């Protein structure tokens, strides 16, 4: 493992899946990743088909027994990245603990160097997309925190 490095990634205008796979690889290499503006990541596909698929998925399970489905944008991004890690193995568990995901840009990171992932840019898409924030609002998240 290389020495511990912290990378701050701005999710604005990045495709969620491509961003998540890149971040998962970096986490497994021992880096600490901080994702900011998680609600501005994009999910490719037609709006109605994405919403229909997500709402069907939300019906799976029991509200008390699980599986629990995240509705906040930062938790959706975190869960997506978790799905790309071998989280039941020690190295995957350690990698997941090195991940931090935030809505907007916290004050403590304003003066730090913020990176992006060019290969995950929305400009590479030739299809419609929605943001994670739009999806979260549709499935029951309210930005006011209520």
Per-residue model confidence (pLDDT) at position 1: 44
* Ranges in the chain, pLDDT < 70: 1-3, 145-146
Question: Which pTM value belongs to this model?
Answer: 0.92
Say what the pLDDT of residue 135 is. 96
Take residue 46 and report the two structure tokens written for it.
């037609």
For the chain, the domains span 6-138
| Residue 133 phi, psi dihedral angles, 5° rounding | -65, -45
Strand, helix or coil for residue 59: coil
The single residue listed with the structure tokens 């603990």 is 97
Give all strands (DSSP E) within 2-138, no chain letters: 6-10, 32-36, 42-44, 99-101, 129-131
Token pair listed for 97: 């603990």
CA 130, 133, 135, 137 torsion-angle sign: negative
Q: Is 6-138 a CATH 3.90.1180.10 domain?
A: yes
pLDDT of residue 146: 53
Q: Collapsing DSSP states into helix, strand and coil, what is residue 75?
A: helix
Helix, coil or strand: residue 128: coil
């Amino acid at each position: 493992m290389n020495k511990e490095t912290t990378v701050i990634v701005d999710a604005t205008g990045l495709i969620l899946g491509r961003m998540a796979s890149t971040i998962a690889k970096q986490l497994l290499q021992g880096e600490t990743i901080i994702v900011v503006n998680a609600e501005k990541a994009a999910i490719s596909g037609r709006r109605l088909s994405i919403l229909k698929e997500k709402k069907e998925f939300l019906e799976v399970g029991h509200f008390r027994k699980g599986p629990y489905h995240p509705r906040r944008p930062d938790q959706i991004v975190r869960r997506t990245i978790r799905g790309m890690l071998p989280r039941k193995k020690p190295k995957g568990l350690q990698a997941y603990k090195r991940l931090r995901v935030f809505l907007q840009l916290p004050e403590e990171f304003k003066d730090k160097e913020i990176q992006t992932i060019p290969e995950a840019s929305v400009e590479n898409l030739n299809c419609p997309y929605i943001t994670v924030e739009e999806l979260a609002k549709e499935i029951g998240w309210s930005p006011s925190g209520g």
